[in-house]
Amino acid sequence: MKFFLLIFLLTQVTYAQGVRIALSARPTNLDPFFSTDGNSQNINRLVHTTLTDFNSNMEFECRLCESYREEVIAGRHEITFVLKKGERFWDGEEVSAKDVKKSVKYFSTDPAIKSIFRFAFLKIIKVEILGKYKVKLIYKKFDQENLSNLSLLKIIKYQKGRDHHIGNITGAGPYRISLARPLELILKPVFNKYLPELNFKIVKDETTLALKLINGEIDLSLASISPRKLNWLKNSQNNLKFWESSSSNYKYLSINHSKKYLKIKNIRKALSLLIPRKDILKFKLKGQAILAGGLFSPAFLSLYESLPIDQFSPQEAKALIEAEGFTLNSDGLYQKDGAVFTIDWKTNNNMATIELVKIIKSIFEKNGIKVKLTSQEWGTFMRNFKTGNYDIILGQWMGFTGPDMLNFVFHSESIPPKGGNRGRYINKKMDSLLFLAESESSPEKRSDLYKKAQALANVDYSYINLWHPKISWVGRKCLANVGLMPNGSFLPLLNIKNKCTK
C-alpha cells in the first residue's frame, strides 16, 4: 500500500466535534500485519479490535471478549474466550468465533500475507469454535507471552486478491481511516456518532509544536517534547492543560559484561554510585520521570516492588574501585597494570540524549574514570549496540507489557540476534529463575519468581537503573475526558470530548 491512501466512508453522519492531535512522527506502516512502530500500533488500536489489551495497571483486560479463562492441560496452554455480542465489522456484519479462527490463520500461516507477527501465533496449535460467541485457543505450551501477544492479533475480515495490501482488510474497530498523507492522518468513527473525528498532524519540531498549541492550531499533543520546553509551557501558558502519568518505559545504562573491567561487580556498582539521579531528575528532567528500582515501574501493579535505589556517593564508589586494585595516576585518572581505566561510551545523535550523557561523563571523569564518547547516527549506533561493540550505552526499553521482558533482556540465551541481552549478561541462577517462572501456571507464584529475578538483576548490576520517563500530554483546557495509559496507548482517545469553541 502506498502511504497516499485515501479511504472515504459512505455513511453521512453528523459527528461530535473533531480533535486535532499532534504526533512527533508519522505511522510508518498502518497494515496491521506489519505495524511495529508505536504510532502505527496505536492507530491500529483505534482502527481494529483485539480479544484483549492492557489496562492502566498493565494487566490484561477484554476488548472483544466478555471474559476469558486460562487452563494448563497436559502441558498445553488453553485460553477460552466468551465474545461480546453485537460487535460489528465496518460492513455491518457481526463478529463471531469463526472470525477469530480466521484471523489466527491470517496472522500465522497465510502464505500470501506472511505477517511479521506470525511466529508468535504459530504457537497456537488449534482453534476450537465452541459456539457463535465462544472460542478456545490452544497453545503448544504455557507461556506468559501467549496472552500478551493477543493485543497484536486484530480480528478482521480479509478479501484475498492477487497481492496483499491494506485494502483487502475490513476491520471491526470503532474508527476507520478517512485520509492518510505523510503529515496528516484522519480517522472517522464508523458507527458511533458520539465519537469525534481524530485528525492526527505530524509536528516534528518542538518549537513549532509549542507555537501551534499556543495559537490553538492543535487541540491535543501526544508528541515528544523536552522537559525544558514542557516546563516553559507550564509556566507561561494559562490556556493549556497538562496530563501526566508514570509510564511503563525504562531508562538504564547498559553495561557490557564481556569487557575486562566491567565484568567486575564492584566496578559496575561504583559507576551506579557516581550518578546523581535526584539532581538530574530535578534540574535536567524537570521532574518528568520517577527513579527506577528495576525494569518495572509502578504502572505494573502485579510486578512492581519498591526496590532500593543507589544514592550518589563518590566516596563509596572510590573505595570500591580502589578495592579492585586501581590507583590514581598523576592526571587524577584510575589505572591498573599501567593501563588507564577508560570507558567506551557510544550514543545516538539525539541532542537531548547527548546532553544527558555528557552530564554523567563529566562526573565520571571528575572521579577518575576516563570516558571516550562517540556520537553516531541511529543505524550505526544500533548495530554497535546489538553486536556488543561498546562498554556503556544509555538505553531505553519501551512498549514491553509484562514479565517475559526479563527473559528477553537477561537470559543467557537471549544474546542478539536471539534476544535483547545486548550486555552479554550471563548468570545461571537468573536462567533458572526465569525457567521456573515461565513454566509456573499459578499467577501468584509466577509473579513471585519474576520479582526474585528482578531483585537478582539489581544485586548483580546487570543494568544500572536510572528512571521511568513520564508520559505527558498537552492540550487545550476545554478538552474533557482525557486519560493516559502507562504504555502510551491511544485507547483513551475513545473517551475524549472536544468542548472547545473555534
Torsional class of 270: left (φ above 0), alpha (ψ -120 to 50), beta (otherwise): alpha
Residues 314, 428: one domain?
yes
Peptide bond into 416 cis (omega under 30): no
Residues 435, 302: one domain?
yes
Rounded CA separation 130/98 (Å):
10
In a domain? residue 116: yes
Residues 123, 126, 127, 130: what is their CA dihedral angle, to the nearest 10 degrees?
-140
Given 149, 170, 191, the domain boundary residue is 170
In a domain? residue 143: yes
For cell 513454566, name the residue.
439
Question: For 208-246, what is each residue's pLDDT tens digit?
Answer: 999 999 999 999 999 988 898 999 999 999 999 999 988
Rounded CA separation 227/410 (Å):
31
Given 170, 189, 206, the domain boundary residue is 170
Residues 262, 395: one domain?
yes
CATH code of 139's domain? 3.90.76.10
The model scores a pTM over 0.75 = yes
Q: Work out how many domains the chain is built from and give that number.
A: 2
In a domain? residue 336: yes
Q: Helical H runs in 326-476?
A: 351-366, 378-387, 404-410, 428-438, 443-459
Angstrom distances, CA of residue 357 to CA of 277, 353, 354 = 13, 6, 5
Using an 8 Å Cβ cutoff, are 420 and 255 in contact? no
In a domain? residue 209: no
- Share in percent of the chain as helix, strand, coil (round to 5): 30, 25, 40
**N-to-C CA span, the chain:** 35
CATH code of 418's domain? 3.10.105.10
Chain centroid to CA 306: 21
Residue 269's H or E segment, with its range, is: helix 265-273
Residues 271, 156: one domain?
no
Beta bridge partners of 397: 250
Chain centroid to CA 107: 21
Host domain of residue 116: 49-170
User: Quick one: cell of 363?
Assistant: 562526573
- What are the pLDDT tens digits along the chain (502 aa)? 444 443 444 344 555 789 999 998 889 899 999 988 889 999 999 999 999 999 888 888 999 999 999 999 998 999 999 999 999 999 999 999 999 999 999 999 999 999 999 999 999 999 999 999 999 999 999 888 899 899 999 999 999 877 888 989 999 999 999 999 999 999 999 999 899 999 999 998 999 999 999 999 999 999 988 898 999 999 999 999 999 988 999 999 999 999 999 999 999 999 999 999 999 999 999 999 999 999 999 988 888 999 999 999 999 999 999 999 999 999 999 999 999 999 999 998 888 889 999 999 999 999 999 999 999 988 898 899 999 999 999 999 987 888 889 998 999 999 988 888 999 999 999 999 999 998 887 888 989 999 999 999 999 999 999 999 999 999 999 999 999 999 889 999 999 999 887 6
Q: Which pairing describes strands 392-397 and 175-181: parallel, antiparallel, or unpaired?
A: unpaired
Question: For 261-308, what is each residue's pLDDT tens digit?
Answer: 999 999 999 999 999 999 999 999 999 999 999 999 998 888 899 999
Q: Kindly give, in sequence order, each residue whose CB lies less than 8 Å from that of residue 109, ignoring residues fewer than 6 positions away.
A: 118, 122
In a domain? residue 415: yes
